[in-house]
Amino acid sequence: MRPDLFIRDATGAFLILVPAVIGWQILTGRIEMGGMLYERDPAGRLVYSPARLQLLLVSLAGAAQLLWRFTGNPDHLASANPLVLAGMGASQLSYLASKAWAAYQAKK
């Protein structure tokens, strides 16, 4: 075995293991996800935030689409679909707008 092949396989395993371990910890609750879909109102209470839900869904869809395209053609780094890119931008903007609005309300 050559050292370059050895390090390639070891790093490949590392790249699979790190997301797998973190994904497992998220699924089993070892990494805290509480309050991700909630925002604090001016009184400090947690209230459900639809802006966060849509951002979560769009992000998951964007990442899944990227991985799907990459596995379809693993010779090149997958390019993001312009439609997905525009959707991501709009989603992020709406999330930031809702966050800024909440901050403005709290300041008032």
Partner 1 sequence: MPNVPFSSQELLKWSGAIFVTLLEAYVVYAIARKWDMRRLICAENGDASMSRFQLLLFTFAIGGGYFYLMLQKAAFPPIDVGALGLLGISSGTYAISKGIQASRDTNAAAQASATTNPPAVPTGGSLSSSAAAGAGGPTAPPRQP
Q: Could you list the residues that contact partner 1 (CB under 8 A)? A: 3-4, 6-8, 10-15, 17-19, 21-22, 25, 30-36, 38, 40, 46, 52, 55-56, 59-60, 62-63, 66-67, 70, 74-82, 84-85, 88-89, 92, 95-96, 99-100, 102-103, 106-107
Shortest Cβ distance from residue 19 to partner 1 (Å)? 5
Burial of 49 (0-12, 13-18, 19+ CB in 10 A): buried
CA–CA separation, 101 and 108 (whole Å): 11
Shortest Cβ distance from residue 36 to partner 1 (Å)? 4
Strands (E), 17-90: 38-40, 46-48
Shortest Cβ distance from residue 46 to partner 1 (Å)? 8
Residues 6+ apart with CB under 8 A from 22: 31
